[in-house]
Amino acid sequence: MKIPKVKFELSNINFDIRMIKYFIGSEYWRYFVFKHHPKIKKEKIIGYVKNYWNENRTEIIKKKEIFQREWNKINDKYIIILSKVLETDWPNKSITALVSVNPICPRFLKNWSFSIFYLKKSKSMRETVAHELLHFLYFKKWKEIFPKSKERSFDAPYLEWKLSEILAPAILNNSKIQKIIRFKATGYGIYNKTKIGNISINNHFNLLYKESLNKGESFEEFIKKAYKEIKKYKNVIK
């Protein structure tokens, strides 16, 4: 298996404008945009983003170099252990991390790229990169298990996408992975607030994953069980 590398590159103004416009249009995500860019409420998005890039370009370039240097320290170890945990090999693909002024970090399965906020600390950066890489390999494995799946279901608002986001912190907190990234994954806050019975959705599926590990089940067995489980609660999660 060839070990893919993550290459950090600068995002660009037009891409960031498009992404920030998109996330401001979301009732859930706009809070995080305004948290880091409060002035954007009173200014036009295009002008704001252009000015922000011009004023902070030197710092953004510096963080790109820091991110690359820090991630290189664990890239190979993480790539190898994630392949073992998900029980599938990495394809021969390049992976691009776009260092951006957008505080949200979307990923793009078609070209194996994702965006990462330049103001993240190194530890948080590791968790974010690990999270996005998990999605790439997770959906490769998903397609092997469910070959008839439509790839549009791997993005919002489909149930398959929701399950991937719910399971991501459980998988990243696997002790084998934590030895490498050393930053606890928390996942989406909304899944900590929404409950199944007396426990949160995140905790419910976290317990399901731990139970599967303790039984020595394969990852494929766990995914099939988790998929069946989320279908039971799709109305709650909606």
pLDDT for position 181? 94
User: What angle is formed at CA 87 by the lines to CA 83 and CA 91, rounded to 5 degrees?
Assistant: 55
Residue 89 confidence class, pLDDT cut points 50, 70, 90: very high
pLDDT for position 34? 96
Residue 25 has pLDDT above 90, yes or no: yes
Residue 224 has pLDDT above 80, yes or no: yes
Q: Which two tokens stand for residue 99?
A: 């260092």
Residue 238 has pLDDT above 80, yes or no: no
Rounded CA-CA distance 157/36 in Å is: 25
Residue 203 confidence class, pLDDT cut points 50, 70, 90: very high
Q: Which two tokens stand for residue 7?
A: 């290459």
Strand order in the sheet with 113-117: 6-10, 95-100, 113-117, 107-108
Rounded CA-CA distance 108/115 in Å is: 9
Mean pLDDT of the chain: 96
Mean pLDDT score, 80-97: 97
Mean pLDDT score, 25-49: 94
Hey, where are the domains in the chain? 6-237
pTM listed for this prediction? 0.96
pLDDT for position 41? 85
Mean pLDDT score, 212-217: 98
Q: Which two tokens stand for residue 163?
A: 């399950």
User: What angle is formed at CA 10 by the lines to CA 110 and CA 80, rounded to 5 degrees?
Assistant: 55
Residues 6+ apart with CB under 8 A from 106: 19, 114, 115
pLDDT for position 144? 98
Residues 6+ apart with CB under 8 A from 66: 122
pLDDT for position 1? 80
Residue 42 has pLDDT above 90, yes or no: no
% of the chain beyond a pLDDT of 70: 100
Handedness of CA 54, 59, 60, 61 (dihedral sign): positive
